Amino acid sequence: MIMSDSQNLLQVGHLTKIFRSGGFSAGKELVAVDDVSFDIPTEKPVTLTLAGESGSGKTTTARMVLGFTKPTQGEITYRGKSILNMGNDEWRRYRREVQAVFQDPFGAFNPMYVVDHSLKIPIQKYGLAKTEDEIRRLISDALEVVGLRPEEILGKYPHQLSGGQRQRIMLARAFLLRPRIVVADEPVSMLDASMRADILHLMLDLKRRWNVSFLYITHDLSTAHYVSDSIAIMYQGSILEMGPIDDVISNPLHPYSKLLIDSIPIPDPGQRWQEHVQLPSKELQTQISNGCKFYDRCGARMEVCKAERPALGQEGSRSVACHLYRA
C-alpha cells in the first residue's frame, strides 16, 4: 500500500470552482473558489475554520469536500485517494466518515416525522444494527454523547424542540456513524447566543473525546476563535491568510484580515470603534485583473499590487498572500 499522503487524512490541493452562466461564448464566469489548498492531519483531531464573508467561496469549498459539487480543477484526497476516483466501497466509507451539519436546524428535519426517524435512517442505510432494540440503543447512546436525554427527545416532532436541541440531534446523527471529520457549515449562526456556547462546547468535546476533526465554515470569527486550532481567511474565492488561530486573531497580517477582525464589535462599551469605516458608495466592478483581489479596498496598496496577484507565502507560523510581506 502506498503511504505517501498518509500524514493527512484530508488533503485539498489547488481546488478551483468556476460557475458559468449564460451562453457558451457570451457567458459570464464566476470564479467561486480559486486555487484553495489546506489539509486535515491523520494523527490528531483538529478544527480548521474556513472564514469569510458572503461570496468568499467558503461554502462552495465545503460543498466540494462533501462531494455535492464537482471541482473545476484541483484535488481532494481522503486517506491518500482522490474522492473523484473512488470505487463504490471507498465512496461509501468516505460518506460515512465525513459527515455534515448545516446552518438551519429546522430545515434538516422532515416535519412530518418524529425525530427518531432522522436518526434511524443512517443506521439502516449503513446496516449498523439488526434489531429494533439495537437501533434504539445506538440512538440513545448517540443522544447521550451530545448531552440530550433520550426520554425527552424521542417521540417528539422537530417543532417541539428548540433550535439548540435540533442542532444537537444533527450532531448525534453525524456521531452515529463515528465520523473522522464533520463539515459544519454555520452550525450556530441561527441559534441564540445562550445556546450557541452550548453547541460550541459540544464540538470541542467531540473533538477531544471522540477524535472528530471539524472543518468549520463560518463568517463569525469569535466562535471560530473559541473552537478552532487554525483558520483560513477567504476573500473572493482565495485564501489570503492561514495559520494558527491565536496568531491570526491577535496579530493579523493581511490588511483584509486586519479590517475584518477590527470590525467585529467587542461586547464592551469601553472599547468602542475609534475609526470610521467607509462603505463603498457604489457597487465595485468585478474587475478581471491580474492584481490582488483586495486592491480596491486596501489601505496599504502599492503599485505592484495592481499588476501582480500575490501568492500565499510563508511568514513565520502562517501563510499570507500579500506583497507587504515580500522581501
Partner 1 sequence: MSDRILEIKNLTAYYEIGTSPTRAVDNATLGIIRRGEILGIAGESACGKTTLALAILRLLKPPGRIRGGEVIFDGVNLLELGEEEIRRIRWKRISYIPQSSMNALNPVMRTRDQLSDGIRAHESGQSRDDLEGRIEGLLKDVGLSRDVIGMYPHELSGGMRQRVAIAMAMALDPELLIADEPTTALDVIVQRGILQLLGEIRDRMHTILLITHDMAAQAEISDRVGIMYAGKMAEIGRTEEVFGDPLHPYTRLLISSIPKLRGKSEPTWIGGLPPDLRSPPKGCRFNPRCPRLIAGTCDTKEPGLAEVSPGRFVACHLYGD
Binding-site ranges for partner 1 (CB under 8 A) = 53-54, 162-163, 192-198, 200-201, 219, 221-223, 225-226, 249-250, 259-261, 263-270, 272-273, 276-283
Residue 22, SS3 per DSSP:
coil
Residue 112 C-beta: closest distance to partner 1, Å: 22
Residue 80 C-beta: closest distance to partner 1, Å: 35
Residue 199 C-beta: closest distance to partner 1, Å: 9
Closest to partner 1 by CB, 44 vs 276, is 276
CA 62 to chain centre: 6
Beta bridge partners of 152: none
Closest to partner 1 by CB, 132 vs 268, is 268
Closest to partner 1 by CB, 136 vs 219, is 219
Residue 290 C-beta: closest distance to partner 1, Å: 24
Residue 269 C-beta: closest distance to partner 1, Å: 5
Q: Which three cell numbers stand for residue 26?
A: 457570451
Distance CA 320, CA 66 (A): 26
Closest to partner 1 by CB, 14 vs 149, is 149
Burial 50-82 (b: 16+ CB within 10 A, else e): bbbeeebbbbbbbbbbbeebebbebebbbbbbe
Distance CA 98, CA 213 (A): 9
Q: DSSP letter string over 270-305?
A: TS---SPPPPPSSPPP----SS-TTGGG-TT--HHH
Closest to partner 1 by CB, 275 vs 303, is 275
